[in-house]
Amino acid sequence: DVKVTQSSRYLVKRTGEKVFLECVQDMDHENMFWYRQDPGLGLRLIYFSYDVKMKEKGDIPEGYSVSREKKERFSLILESASTNQTSMYLCASSLQVAFPNTDTQYFGPGTRLTVL
């Protein structure tokens, strides 16, 4: 079974702090994703990566950056946390397949981040 793990289930940070959210997958997937989940808004894509050191902006990249130095690990960075970044953050991974996109995304358990 694919396993996607996230470094923390719950995290509390202060405004202005630099925050790192880590995600690791163990199935050699090429694609990795970071989503933000807010009530009434569903899941919104922040960034995704289709290969090591490769990244693309999603729908809401402002205030975030990412790093993918190794295939299995994808980090989300909040350079200077703000209260409006309080949310649930979900990581996911999937295989790289040809068009059309057919592959399932596998999700981590999520990190609930509170910024005070």
Distances (CA, A) of 76 to 55, 72, 111: 11, 14, 11
Report if residue 107 touches other proteins, rule: CB under 8 A: yes
Q: Does residue 11 interact with other proteins by CB under 8 A?
A: no
Dihedral sign, Cα of residue 71, residue 5, residue 57, residue 116 = negative
The reply on whether position 61 binds other proteins by CB under 8 A is no
Copy the structure tokens of residue 66: 């990412």
Judged by CB under 8 A, does residue 31 bind other proteins? Answer: yes
User: Which residue number, 81 or 91, has a Cβ lying nearer to other proteins?
Assistant: 91
The single residue among 11, 43, 60, 77 that binds other proteins, judged by CB under 8 A, is: 43
- Per CB under 8 A, 26 contacts other proteins: no
Applying CB under 8 A, which residues contact other proteins?
4, 31, 33, 35, 40-45, 48, 50, 56, 58, 90, 92, 94, 96-97, 99-105, 107-110
